[in-house]
């Protein structure tokens, strides 16, 4: 069995792979590597343009791709499905960092930290102004779109701060850590009056531009909106209008339809919009956590051709 | 009994006071009010320069002062003690807002929110740089100076994120929510290697300039230092040196020896120093929470001359 690397691994991880029986490892391709030299590769770890080229070769041997991300919307899903290739993601390892990231923005917004950081740049002591604005998270409601690993962890931390949590998923099924759940598209009063709204949904045909003018129009709680899902789930122009018209108190975008955001984008200077550069899921040991999923799946796959975790449903797209 | 107001109250609160027997309320003094006209005032709510003048009149009737703050270091404690005046504070109502504020900075620092906000001002997409720096709170240690209401609430929230909490108080007595406690001045390995250090101590002769060069010199964990206690507890020059010499990864000052901070202070532009304008304890309903303490004490005091809560030990200074 041949494993081709499209994501770098450590020396210790190479030794772990070397100890597996019947596995040959092909290192990262260089600019000169011909995709045809990878025709007999069975498994790929990671993904990039080289993978796209290999997939297009008619007689490739690909059987399984282990991505290094949770969302796999950037991959050629139609071709992967057509060629009967298995696809696994790293869903799960982002829950803790993204949930900490979201709670950080909730608190930084509510407790005046974002406003203080901006005022500091202007050498302004805005005590009287901020003391009348800052508030506590406790007793406020957060609406979370997506009740998977990430949404559930966010809800868990929100409960620690005495918040009410409502969740939205495909069918509205009940989920631990949520005080109430609804089907996506429902418009309950608790959503309308929520103080915080967070998107954690994967990008699919159903979620593209889900957060549009009609969505923002229904909100009366003057909430902070946070997107840690995928950029195209938000209609950026509608979001800007909602900010300008004070339908939203603010917005945080960690993901954008086009990344990196161009230096001359007007979004950088949009009042009450905070932009972070797609870092919510990152953490220092990310590579180790992703490799652990590859390795566990690899052991099972080499033994009996089965994958034990994180297989993507190619019809659903997550 | 006469109650003089040095802090504004709402119309509803005035009605509550009017319903108490044997109580006359004197409204906020104007610029023309002669302190001598308050000589027969028994109780004061709030404090300002007018109170200082009244206290200096030899035949004043003051018996009890209810401050609207937790720290009372700005009040003339020697004169209050000499005149046998009771002093109560609002300790307790700041625990939740300050603890949320501290957690906000922990998360905003660890998860790259502060760095993203600063980069946004320069239209910079710093994804690669930040992805290698951001980390999770979980499994990190926080050292909290002061294990009272505020420190305990901070420790509680830190436990929710899977952190280890160590506390410092006068005698090192055990306190719920702290995995270990030490006497202030102790230098255990857990302090040296802590990732976060927070000061919540009141300002007393013992805590003035407690956080000095010797304190910062002992730290090896490259921590973030946060002061939500009182400004003079930190030797600002020593803190700046510790930042410049990379002994500290960063610092957050919500309180400063001189407030408001002058627009030309070099502190505004000190790298890795975040300044907030003394807002950590604020929240929208602050006045109502402070009045609730006044009212509870007032009911007891009018009944039998006793105070039920929040009396300050004038020897300790808190």
**Which residues of B are catalytic, by number?**
230, 259, 278
Residues spanned by the domain of A297: 2-92+284-304
Kindly state whether residues B121 and B217 are assigned to the same domain. Answer: yes
In this complex, do B134 and A286 lie within 8 Å of one another by their Cβ atoms? no
Query: Can you give the CATH number for the domain in which B181 is found?
Result: 3.40.50.720
Closest residue, chain B, to A100 (C-alpha): B107
pLDDT tens-digit map of A210-253:
999 999 999 999 999 999 999 999 999 999 999 999 999 999 99
Q: For residue A14, is it within any domain?
A: yes
Q: What is the mean pLDDT of each run of 10 residues along chain B (318 residues)?
A: 97 96 96 97 97 96 96 95 97 96 98 96 96 94 97 98 98 97 97 98 95 97 98 98 98 97 97 98 91 97 96 93
**Model's pTM, two decimal places?**
0.89
The alpha-carbon gap from A242 to the nearest alpha carbon of chain B, in Å, equals: 20
Contacts B264 to A, Cβ<8 Å: 123
User: Quick one: tokens of A79?
Assistant: 């071709």
Note the pLDDT of residue B5: 98
Residue from the list A104, A124, A127 with its beta carbon closest to the beta carbon of B108? A104
Cβ neighbors of B184 (< 8 A, separation 6 or more) are B145, B168, B169, B170, B201, B206, B210
Do A140 and A289 belong to one domain?
no
In terms of domains, do A140 and A259 share one? yes
> Chain A contacts of B131, Cβ < 8 Å?
279, 282, 286
Q: How close is the nearest chain B Cα to the Cα of A214, in Å?
A: 28
Helix, strand, coil: what percent of chain B each, to 5? 35, 15, 50
**How many residues appear in chain A?**
318
Nearest chain A residue to B157, by CA? A160
Question: Is there a domain that residue B313 lies in?
Answer: no
Convert A239-251 into a string of H (helix), E (strand) and C (coil).
Answer: HHHHHHCCCCCEE
Instruction: For residues A134 and A235, state if they share a domain.
Output: yes
The closest of B151, B153, B155, B152 to B141, measured between CA atoms, is B155
Report pLDDT digits (tens) over A281-291.
Answer: 998 889 999 99
- Return the bridge partners of B25, or none: B3
The kind and range of the H/E element at B212 are none
Distance CA B180, CA B198 (A): 15
Nearest CA in chain B to A137: B100
A219: CB partners within 8 A, 6+ apart: A191, A192, A194, A197, A242, A247, A248
d(CA B78, CA B315): 9
Contacts of B107 in chain A (CB under 8 A): 100-101, 103-104, 107-108
Q: Give the closest-approach CA distance of A94 to chain B in angstroms.
A: 11
Asked if A282's CB is within 8 angstroms of B113's CB, the reply is: no
pLDDT at B285: 86
Q: Which segments in chain A show pLDDT lower than 50?
A: none
Q: Are residues A9 and A147 in the same domain?
A: no
Position A312 in a domain:
no
**Is B312 domain-assigned?**
no
Residues of A in contact with B114 (CB under 8 A): 113, 117
Tell me, yes or no, whether B115 and B249 share the same domain: yes
């Amino acid at each position: 069995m041949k494993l081709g690397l499209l994501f770098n691994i450590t020396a210790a991880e190479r030794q772990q792979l070397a100890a597996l029986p019947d596995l040959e490892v092909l290192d990262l391709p260089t600019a000169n590597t011909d995709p045809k030299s990878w025709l007999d590769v069975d498994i790929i770890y990671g993904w990039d343009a080289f993978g796209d080229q290999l997939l297009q070769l008619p007689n490739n041997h690909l059987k399984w791709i282990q991505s290094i991300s949770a969302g796999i919307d950037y991959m050629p899903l139609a071709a992967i499905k057509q060629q009967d290739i298995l696809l696994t993601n790293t869903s799960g390892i982002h829950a803790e960092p993204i949930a900490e990231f979201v709670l950080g923005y909730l608190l930084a917004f509510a407790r005046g930290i974002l406003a203080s950081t901006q005022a500091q740049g202007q050498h302004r002591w805005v005590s009287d102004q901020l003391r009348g604005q800052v508030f506590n998270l406790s007793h406020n409601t957060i609406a979370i779109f997506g009740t998977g690993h990430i949404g559930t962890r966010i809800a868990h931390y929100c409960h620690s701060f005495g918040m009410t949590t409502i969740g939205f998923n495909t069918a509205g099924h009940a989920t631990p850590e949520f005080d109430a759940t609804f089907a996506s598209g429902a418009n309950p009063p608790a959503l309308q009056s929520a103080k915080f709204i967070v998107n954690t949904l994967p990008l699919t045909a159903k979620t593209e531009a889900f957060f549009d003018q009609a969505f923002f129009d229904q909100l009366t709680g003057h909430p902070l909106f946070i997107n840690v899902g995928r950029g195209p789930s938000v209609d950026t122009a509608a979001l800007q209008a909602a900010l300008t018209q004070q339908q939203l108190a603010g917005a945080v975008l960690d993901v954008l339809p086009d990344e990196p955001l161009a230096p001359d984008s007007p979004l950088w200077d949009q009042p009450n919009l905070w932009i972070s550069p797609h870092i919510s899921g990152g953490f220092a040991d990310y590579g180790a956590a992703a490799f652990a999923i590859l390795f566990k799946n690899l052991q099972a796959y080499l033994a009996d051709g089965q994958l034990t975790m994180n297989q993507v449903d190619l019809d659903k797209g997550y």
